[in-house]
Amino acid sequence: MEKGEIKTSTDPAINGGSESEKDLLKKIYQSVKQETPIPIQTEIIGTIPSWLKGNLLRNGPGQFEVGEESVDHLFDGLSFLHRFIIEGGEVKYQGRFLRSDIYEKAMKHQRLVFSGFGTPARHPDPCKTLFQRIFSIFEMEFPDNCNVNWMKLGDEFYALTETPLLKKIDVDKLDVLDTVDIEKLVGVHTATAHPHCGRDGTTYNLGTTFSMRCKYCVIQVPPISKKNAGENAMSGASILSSIPASSYNPTYYHSFGISENYIIFVEQPLHINLFKVMLFSKLLGTRPMTECMEYHPDSKVRFHLIRRDDGTVISTHYTADAFFCFHHCNAYETDDGKDVVVDMCCFEDDDVLKRSTMDNIRKGNLHVEDCVVRRYVLPLGAETKEGGDNLVTMVDSEATATLSPDGSIHCIPEQLCDVSLELPQVNYADFNGRDYQYLYGTGGNMQKIHKVNVKTRRVETWSSPGCFPSEPMFVPAPTKNAEDDGVILSCVTNLADDKQPPFLLVLDARTLTEIARAVIPLPISLFGIHGIFV
């Protein structure tokens, strides 16, 4: 099996791929045909580091067709859970569909009975009477297709999506143990699938409460102890802080940032039209969430800073020109405490959501090369400075911020590298929320893994013909001699030819040199969105 190659930022072919490779995109998003409830052994090519021990848990859409019908949007595929068990230089693989209520009903009736992110409900829920459907107009209903990420809370594991419903999972069997509705705990109607864990063990998340005046809520769950472990792990959840939405229609967001002292929330100009949500989902029952979203390119982005210690919202009004973002990379405060640095993967607009339809994907037209890494620098305590002056004091940064006549601070970013990059990862355990040097992500239309030195702007890239890697997961070595001392794990769908099986890729995080592959003897796509290593 051919190993991947390494390129640096001086190579002309570092960003993007050939047309023949792009034609393979349509084959990545195939429904999983076979579950693997009992872990199976993989074939190891190379050598797995002896110190690498744990579970790589992945989550993502795994079934796009039900009966003769298909979901319309990538984000609506039924959740499939992947598990890689790594120990003693060996790797076992396990995979199952998440047994959500939506999955069970869809399998029973062999049709789509749910409305999703970009898929309309083609049939009413056959389990509901006409009276129940009419009465549900006055209730908020949320799908439980938790197909985005995993969360570990104490000894518990949860599958996550962007609704308030979490699925508690038996990680050894990949079975559903329970459903947790955080709306009942803290009153939010959405929550991100990207919670953050502080070094003291506190877990943070961000959610939106829909009302006549919507608000964004910072959710915190205290460190898990013997008192609140087990069935009560989520019982300590509370609202640390809330921010009134800037308009009647709240913003859509997928993630948020965190530094040592602040939560960073970005209110971007992609809004959820609540009138349309009620009209479409409750009365007409025909249109998906994407048709309730409206992008306003002439509106400003607003950055909010919330203190982690007491929930105080910093009053400074930070703005930027319009952009759309799925993923924050990292955030930190400068040593002198004068600036907050926010690194994000940014698109010019929300067109990527429209490109993610299954019809477009099946034509091989899902392209994400227009996502770039930007750095915004938010100056602290600068409201009294003169207008027009650059308020950013950070050394070696091209990002600027100026005081506007209305008292707001307008931020202009710098671009951290010349390649497209999405699904960003850092050395989370040691450098999340701190000044850092190395950023990893996928690029080249999901055909490459990039490593970016954010200090020098140098880019290194791994790629292999016909291979499509997923989100790169950094696992630190026990020696921790350097920020990049560790390995990168990535699930790779191998489309070099019809007989090439998928594999778990292991790279030296320092050089992106390929160390090993754990080859799965099954013809499945390892496409997933996010995951964790535990």
E-strand spans in 210-323?
215-221, 238-244, 257-258, 262-267, 270-272, 293-295, 301-307, 318-320
Which residue do the tokens 């038996």 mark? 170
Closest CA to 464 of 496, 491, 441, 439: 496
Residue 401 and residue 414: Cα distance in Å, rounded? 11
pLDDT of residue 383: 62
Query: Is 196 assigned to a binding site?
Result: no
> Alpha helices, DSSP H only, in 110-237?
130-135, 182-186
Q: Is 383 exposed, middle or buried (0-12, 13-18, 19+ CB in 10 A)?
A: middle
Q: Is 367 annotated as a binding residue?
A: no
CA distance 197 to 135: 39
Give this prediction's pTM: 0.92
What residues contact 346, with CB distance under 8 A and at least 6 apart? 323, 324, 325, 371, 372, 373, 374, 413
Report the 3 state secondary structure along 401-418: EEECCCCCEEEECEECCC
Can you list the positions of beta strands (E) in 245-386?
257-258, 262-267, 270-272, 293-295, 301-307, 318-320, 324-333, 339-347, 372-379
530 is in an annotated binding site: yes
Q: Which residues of the chain have pLDDT under 70?
A: 1-23, 26, 122-141, 226-232, 280-287, 383-387
Residue type, 333: E
Q: pLDDT by residue (tens digit) across 371-395? A: 999 999 999 987 656 667 899 999 9
Q: Is 254 annotated as a binding residue?
A: yes
Q: What is the pLDDT of residue 15?
A: 46
Neighbours of 50 (CB within 10 A): 9
Q: Is the dihedral of CA 466, 471, 477, 480 positive or negative?
A: positive
For 232, the token pair is 């009560």
pLDDT digits (tens, 9 = 90+) for 240-258: 999 999 999 999 999 999 9
The domain ranges of the chain are: 5-161+173-533
How confident is the model at residue 134, as a pLDDT? 39
Residues 6+ apart with CB under 8 A from 126: 105, 109, 113
Question: Using CA of residue 533, residue 374, residue 351, residue 306, what is the dihedral sign?
Answer: positive
